[in-house]
Structure 1
C-alpha cells in the first residue's frame, strides 16, 4: 500500500512541469499578486474569483522557498492523499478486514482525472472533495456535527460542494441527522472568512463570491458531458439556463420527497447511493457546468461500486471515460482555442480595486463550448451512468425490510479494538 501510494505521488511529480492555461492565466497571477502585496495582507484586495480558504493556502506558499507551480500542485496532491484516506475509511465500513478498502483508495489515487487534476492541471477539486467524502464518512459513523463541519469545509473551498446537499436533505427528512447539525455548515464558512476580514477584506465581497461565480458564464455547458450537449448550438442560453436550474431543483426535490414518503429505513448503502447519485445527477442537469464538475461523482461512484459491485461496477468506468476525454480538450487544447495573452490584462497583476472589466476569454472562446459529436457521445456515456445510479438507488429504496428490522451500526476495522 505504501509503495503504491508513493508511485501515485511520483506519477504526479512527473507532471509537475506542465503549465495549464488556468495556472498561467489565473492561479499564477493570484500568487504573484499576493507575493507583491505583502502576503496575507493582500487578501483585503479583490483580485481572485475563488473563496478565501484556497487563497490562504496560496498566501502561505509565498512565505516558503517553494516555486509557485510546484507549491500549487503540492497542495492538491496532499489533498489527493486525504481523499484516498476517506475513500478507504468509507469502504472499510462495508468491507472491514478485507482488501477492498485498500483497493478502492488506490483506484481513486490512480484515476486519470484525479491524477491529472492535481499533478498536471494544478486544480483544487481534491480539496473540497476530500472534505465532502469525509463528511459522508462521519455521517455513516453517526457523528452529525463532525459531518456538518466537514461539509462546511468542503463548501468553504468550492461551491461544487452543493452537489452533496440533496444527501443532507434526505438525512434530515429521515431523522438520520438532526437539522441543527446543518448550522455547522454556514458556521464553518463564516469562521473561515474571519482571517480575511482581519486583513481588511469587506464582508460583502466575501459573502458574494459564490453569487458572482454563478453569473460568470452564460454558456449552457463549458465542455461538460452534460444533457446540454444534446441541444443545438443555436439554443438560446438565456432562456434555457433558468429552465435548467428550475428542472434540476424540481428533480432533486422530487427525489428527496420520494425518499421521505417511502418511509424506508435509511441504511449505509442507501446513504452512499444517494451521495453518488446526487454527485452525478446535479452536474449532468445543471447548466454552465465545467468538465471538472464531475470530480466528486468520479470518486463517489467508485465507492458506490464497492458497496454494490455487481450492479454498479460499470458506472465509475463510464463516468471516468466521459470526464477524462473531456479533460483532454482543456489540458491539451487545439491551436487557437485559448487566448495567448494574460486574461487579467495586467501581466498577472489585477488592479487592487478588483478584477478587470474586459473578458477576452469569453470573446476568444465563444465557439469553444459549442456542442460537437464527440461531446454528445461523452454526454451519452454520462447519461447511462446517471440512469444506472438513479435506477439502482430506486431499487435499493424499494427493497422490503422485515418488520422491526434494524440495521447494525456501521463500524470500520480501524475502530474495532
Structure 2
C-alpha cells in the first residue's frame, strides 16, 4: 500500500493545478471591481506605449514597481489573439502570486515540519476563499505584494539580510503599505548589532530603489517619488476607507480623520497607535531574541496598523493570512493557526461586502450590523494575537540555536 501511495510532489502539483483552474474560472466569471480593472487596463496601455513617460501621461498613484508588470500586461494585450482575455490577463499576476506563496508555504513547512504538513498548509492557502476572492474575483494585486513581504521576511530568517532588504524595498516601491513591515528588518539589524549587516542592508536597499525608480526619473529628478507617496497617503483622508477596524466599529467609516475623537483627531490617534504597535512588536522581538519571531512580528505589524491606524482600506489586512501561517510554521503554536483562520474570515467578509455591496458601505450611513460584528472581531483578534505572541516570546526555547 505504501508503494501505491502518491508522492507528495505529485499531490502538490495536482493541488497547484486545481488552484489555478479554480482561479481562472473565478477570474472570467465576473469582471471584478470595475474601477480597479479599468485603471489597470488603462495604466497597462500607457506603460506599454512609453514606460519612461508613464507618470507624465497617467494619473496613477501606484509606486513604480508594479508598473513594470503592467508594462508586460500592456504588451501582451497588444496582440489581437490575447486582447479578448483582458480581464484574465490583468488578474493573472496576482493569481500566479497566490500559487507561488502556496509553494513557498510548502517548502518552508516541509523544512521545519514535514512534507505532509507542507501539503496541508499549501492546500489551506490555495483554497482559502479570502485569498482567491482578492486576486481572482476582485482583481487586486495584494497577493503579489504579499509574496514580496513573505520573501523578505523569509530571507531575514535565513540571515540573508542584504537580499531581504531588496525585497522589503521592492514591497515599499509597490505599495506604500510596505513601510508597515520595514521595522521588522530594523528589529533584526538592531538585534544582531553587526555593522556589516547594516551596511549590506542599506546598500542593497539603495541600489534596489535606484534600479526601480531611475527609468521613471528622466527629466524630473528623484524627488517625484516622495511627492507620489505623499499624494497617495493624502488621497483618502478618512478614519476608515471601508476597513472593518476600530474606526469602523466606532462608526467612523468615511469620516474625515481631521475630526476629533476625545482629545485628538482620528488621524493623530492613528499615528499614536501605529507607534505603539511598532514598539510592542519590537518588545516581542527583543523578548523572543530570535529570527523565529520575524513572521510573528510582521503579522502583528499589519494586524495592528490595519485595526488601529486611519486611512485603511478593506484589503490591507490580506498579508496577515500568509504571515500567520508562516508564524505557526516557525513558532509551532496552534493559536497562530487559529489566528490565520480568524483573519481569513474577517478579510473575506470585508472584501466580500465591499466588492458586492459597495453602494451600501461607502459612507457612514452604511454602518450596520455586519460592519460592527466584523470590526469587533478584528479588534479581538488583534488582542489575541498580541497576547499569544508575547506569551511565546516570554517562553521561548532557550536551546534553539538555529536562529
Q: TM-score, normalised by structure 2?
A: 0.84
> Which of 376, 383, 398 is the aligned partner of 2:379?
383
SS at match of 2:177: helix
Give the aligned partner of residue 246 of structure 1: 272
Structure-2 change in CA distance of 1:233 and 1:44 (3 Å): closer
Q: TM-score, normalised by structure 1?
A: 0.81
Give matches, 1:109-124, under 5 Å. 109-124=126-141
> Which of 219, 231, 244 is the aligned partner of 2:238?
219
Answer whether contact 1:104 1:303 (CA < 8 A) is retained: no
Alignment partner of 1:185 is 2:213: no
Give the aligned partner of residue 302 of structure 1: 325
Give matches, 1:384-403, under 5 Å. 384-399=380-395
Q: 2:147 & 2:284 partners in 1: Cα distance?
A: 29
Larger RCO (CA under 8 A, 6+ residues apart): 1
Answer whether contact 1:220 1:287 (CA < 8 A) is retained: yes
Answer whether contact 2:187 2:282 (CA < 8 A) is retained: yes
Structure-2 change in CA distance of 1:381 and 1:44 (3 Å): closer
SS at match of 2:71: helix
Q: 2:397 & 2:360 partners in 1: Cα distance?
A: 55
Residue deviations 1:245-286, cap 9 Å, x none? 1222133224425644x4x53152x22322222222221111
Give the aligned partner of residue 118 of structure 2: 101
Alignment partner of 1:155 is 2:172: yes
Alignment partner of 1:125 is 2:142: yes
Give matches, 1:6-405, under 5 Å. 6-17=17-28, 18-19=30-31, 20-34=33-47, 38-45=49-56, 46-64=58-76, 65=79, 66-67=82-83, 68-95=86-113, 97-175=114-192, 178-183=197-202, 184-198=204-218, 203-233=222-252, 237-238=257-258, 239-257=265-283, 259-260=285-286, 262=287, 264-268=288-292, 270-306=293-329, 307-333=331-357, 336=359, 365-367=362-364, 371-399=367-395, 405=399
Answer whether contact 2:47 2:74 (CA < 8 A) is retained: yes
What's the offset of the Cα at 1:394?
0.9
Structure-2 change in CA distance of 1:110 and 1:246 (3 Å): same
Q: 1:252 & 1:175 partners in 2: Cα distance?
A: 19
The 10-residue stretch of structure 1 (26-35 or 279-288) with the greater mean CA deviation from structure 2:
26-35
The 10-residue stretch of structure 1 (308-317 or 250-259) with the greater mean CA deviation from structure 2:
250-259
Residue deviations 1:121-161, cap 9 Å, x none? 11111122111101111111111111111211222211222
Give the aligned partner of residue 352 of structure 1: none
Answer whether contact 1:276 1:297 (CA < 8 A) is retained: yes
Answer whether contact 1:170 1:256 (CA < 8 A) is retained: yes
SS at match of 2:106: helix
Answer whether contact 2:284 2:389 (CA < 8 A) is retained: no
Residue deviations 1:357-404, cap 9 Å, x none? xxxxxxxx4447x543311210122122212211111111212655xx
What's the offset of the Cα at 1:50?
0.6
Point out where structure 2 has 5 or more consecutive residues left out of the alignment: 1-11, 259-264
What's the offset of the Cα at 1:305?
3.3
What's the offset of the Cα at 1:110?
1.7
Give the aligned partner of residue 5 of structure 2: none
Point out where structure 1 has 5 or more consecutive residues left out of the alignment: 339-364, 411-417
What's the offset of the Cα at 1:301?
1.2
SS at match of 2:237: coil
SS at match of 2:27: coil
Q: 1:230 & 1:24 partners in 2: Cα distance?
A: 30
Answer whether contact 1:43 1:201 (CA < 8 A) is retained: no
The 10-residue stretch of structure 1 (39-48 or 214-223) with the greater mean CA deviation from structure 2:
39-48
Answer whether contact 2:281 2:300 (CA < 8 A) is retained: no
Answer whether contact 2:130 2:345 (CA < 8 A) is retained: no
Answer whether contact 1:312 1:388 (CA < 8 A) is retained: no
Higher helix share: 2
Q: 2:50 & 2:26 partners in 1: Cα distance?
A: 27
Structure-2 change in CA distance of 1:274 and 1:122 (3 Å): same
Answer whether contact 1:86 1:137 (CA < 8 A) is retained: no
Answer whether contact 2:184 2:294 (CA < 8 A) is retained: yes
